[in-house]
């Protein structure tokens, strides 16, 4: 025979599933797990923050209405998501810093390898300077 579950047990299962859905989504958006649709690791930190903020909102809106297991679940998930977010933002910032440094190294080399012929100052034509009008 099938076991009968109370409405409270069913609601707890649904709530748990909802929290885990946002957790998995945020982890995917942080590049921690593979996107099952594309089979690629993708990173979108703006969307990850949005997903974390939704779990935080759920915590705030359900405060006082959760049983102890649900409360601990949300707290644990939020802690894990926030710590992973901080770690990934450090990686993103480091990558951006490295890209800027690489760009700065490339720019000076581009000037040195300029294809235009260099001319000495004595060969360059100069425009005559205009005389300044004296103020009376």
pLDDT tens by residue, 8-65: 999 999 999 999 999 999 999 999 999 989 999 999 999 999 999 999 999 999 999 9
Domain-located, residue 120: no
Domain for residue 103, yes or no? yes
Residue 40 pairs in a beta bridge with: 35
Q: Which domain holds residue 61?
A: 8-108
What is the pTM for the complete model shown? 0.70
Residue 131: its pLDDT value, please? 59
Residue 88 pLDDT: 94
Whether the per-residue pLDDT at 72 is higher than 90: the answer is yes
* Domains of the chain: total: 1
Q: Is 80 inside any structural domain?
A: yes
In a domain, 20, yes or no: yes
Residue 125 lies in a domain: no
Place of tokens 């990558």: 95
Beta bridge partners of 35: 40
Confidence of residue 3 (pLDDT cuts 50, 70, 90): confident
Assigned domain for 115 exists = no
Phi then psi for residue 135, to 5 deg, are -90, 135
81, 96 contact by CB (below 8 A): no
Residue 28 lies in a domain: yes
The count of C-alpha atoms lying within 13 angstroms of the C-alpha of 110, restricted to the half-sphere facing its C-beta, is 6
User: Looking at the domain assignment, is residue 116 inside a domain?
Assistant: no
């Amino acid at each position: 025979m099938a076991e009968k579950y109370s409405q409270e047990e069913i609601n707890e299962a649904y709530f748990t599933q909802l929290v885990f859905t946002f957790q998995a989504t945020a982890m995917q958006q942080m590049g921690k797990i593979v996107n099952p649709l594309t089979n690629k690791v993708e990173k979108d930190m703006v969307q990850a923050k949005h997903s974390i903020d939704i779990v935080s909102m759920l915590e705030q809106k359900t405060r006082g209405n959760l049983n102890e297991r649900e409360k601990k679940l949300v707290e644990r998930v939020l802690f894990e998501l926030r710590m992973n977010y901080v770690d990934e933002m450090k990686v993103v910032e480091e990558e951006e810093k490295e890209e800027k440094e690489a760009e700065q190294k490339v720019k000076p080399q581009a000037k040195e390898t300029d294809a235009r012929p260099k001319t000495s100052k004595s060969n360059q034509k100069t425009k005559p300077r205009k005389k300044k009008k004296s103020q009376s």
